[in-house]
Amino acid sequence: MKGVVLFCVLPLVLGQERTFSWDGPGQTLAPDPINPCLTDQSSCGCCVMQKKKWELEQHLNSSMNSLEDLLARAQNTVRNIRDSRVAFSVALTDKRRCIGPLRAATNVVYQSIFINIGEAYNSSTGVFTVPRSGVYNLAFTVFSDAGSPGASLAVCASIRRNGVALAALREIYEQDQEDQATAVLLVQLSAGDRITISLQAGCWICDDQNHYNTFSGFLLYATE
Ligand SMILES: *[C@@H]1O[C@H](CO)[C@@H](O)[C@H](O)[C@H]1NC(C)=O
Ligand SMILES: *[C@@H]1O[C@H](CO)[C@@H](O)[C@H](O)[C@H]1NC(C)=O
């Protein structure tokens, strides 16, 4: 009889102990929405995954944003470069013609256009108006023909920035029938500067369809 009673009490004791250790004595926790791992073991794995997914999404979002930013800046730079392209190259004339000698220095008006990107060279005035501050490559070549052997030759010209000579070419001979000279320079120019080729008083230049006299310039890089 004693043995039977013991047998019946044992499951109750074991059952009680199991209930206590799992749920705590008589209390149940409300599920925690921030971190369900604390209260809801079954959704813990899902929560970690969701957190990782959110972090990944945030990382992708910020990467995407900075890439879009970089792209916009690069596109802007390319647009700036394209809009500020400046290059001109012109020759004096297409048919035989001499200019000079004249009493006073005169601006040479080059009328045969090879290229005029940016339209900064004006073929009515011979003036290259600097559209944008920067470092420019400028070059000019002058040619003259004395007309006959033994006649005197005088080719002299200067390249001017706002009327002030930057560089000059000078060839005055009696024993030479033809002469040609070239100057190339790199200069820092400001927007609005006027670049001209000035034929000095008493000198003359001649040209024909061979384009012996040229004037060229291009923007190497902008500095504004
Ligand atoms: C990521 O960007 C999308 C679209 O702009 C937005 O709906 C989402 O909330 C962002 N996610 C994060 C984690 O910032
Ligand atoms: C060239 O200069 C003349 C005289 O200043 C001016 O009338 C003309 O509009 C200019 N041409 C261009 C293309 O700027």
pLDDT digits (tens, 9 = 90+) for 198-219: 999 999 899 999 999 999 999 9
**117: how many CB neighbours lie within 10 A of its CB?**
13
Amino acid letter, 122? N
Nearest CA to ligand 2 atom 5: 125
Nearest CA to ligand 1 atom 12: 58
Q: Helical H runs in 84-203?
A: none
Of 130, 132, 136, 127, the C-alpha closest to 198 is: 127
Residue 80 inside a domain? The answer is: no
pLDDT at 34: 62
- At 159-172, the pLDDT tens digits run 999 999 999 998 88
pLDDT at 29: 57
**101: how many CB neighbours lie within 10 A of its CB?**
14
Q: For residue 15, report the distance from its CA to the centre of ligand 2, in Å.
A: 105
Question: Which of 51, 55, 60, 61 for a ligand 1 pocket mutation test, highest count of atoms within 8 Å of Cβ?
Answer: 61
Residue pair 107/196 in contact (Cβ under 8 Å)? The answer is yes
Which residues are within 8 A (CB) of 188 and not within 5 positions of it... i.e. 6 or more apart?
A: 133, 134, 135, 136, 223
Q: For residue 57, report the distance from its CA to the centre of ligand 1, in Å.
A: 7
Q: For residue 122, report the distance from its CA to the centre of ligand 2, in Å.
A: 6
Q: For residue 144, report the distance from its CA to the centre of ligand 2, in Å.
A: 28
Q: Which two structure tokens, joined as six digits, stand for 124?
A: 């009515």
pLDDT at 140: 97
Residue 92 inside a domain? The answer is: yes
Nearest CA to ligand 1 atom 7: 61
In this prediction, residue 146 has a pLDDT band, given cuts at 50, 70 and 90, of confident
- Give the range of the structural domain holding residue 91, as residue numbers without chain letter: 87-222
Torsion of CA 131, 133, 139, 143, to 10 degrees: 50
Nearest CA to ligand 2 atom 7: 124
Pairing type for strands 153-161 and 194-199 reads antiparallel
CA 117 to chain centre: 17
Residue 112 inside a domain? The answer is: yes
Residue 105 inside a domain? The answer is: yes
Residue 4 inside a domain? The answer is: no
What CATH number is associated with residue 136?
2.60.120.40
Residue pair 157/197 in contact (Cβ under 8 Å)? The answer is yes
DSSP secondary structure code for residue 151 in this structure: S
Give the three-state DSSP class for 98: strand
Cα separation, 223 vs 178, whole angstroms:
40
Residue 7 inside a domain? The answer is: no
Q: For residue 150, report the distance from its CA to the centre of ligand 1, in Å.
A: 86
Residues in contact with ligand 2 (CB, 6 Å cut-off): 119, 122, 124-125
In this prediction, residues 84-92 reach a mean pLDDT of 94
Residue 6 inside a domain? The answer is: no
**194 alpha carbon, closest ligand:** 2
Cα separation, 146 vs 33, whole angstroms:
100
Q: How many domains does the chain have?
A: 1
- At 91-113, the pLDDT tens digits run 999 999 899 888 999 999 999 99
Cα separation, 122 vs 116, whole angstroms:
9
Residue pair 186/143 in contact (Cβ under 8 Å)? The answer is no
**42: how many CB neighbours lie within 10 A of its CB?**
7
Residue 34 inside a domain? The answer is: no
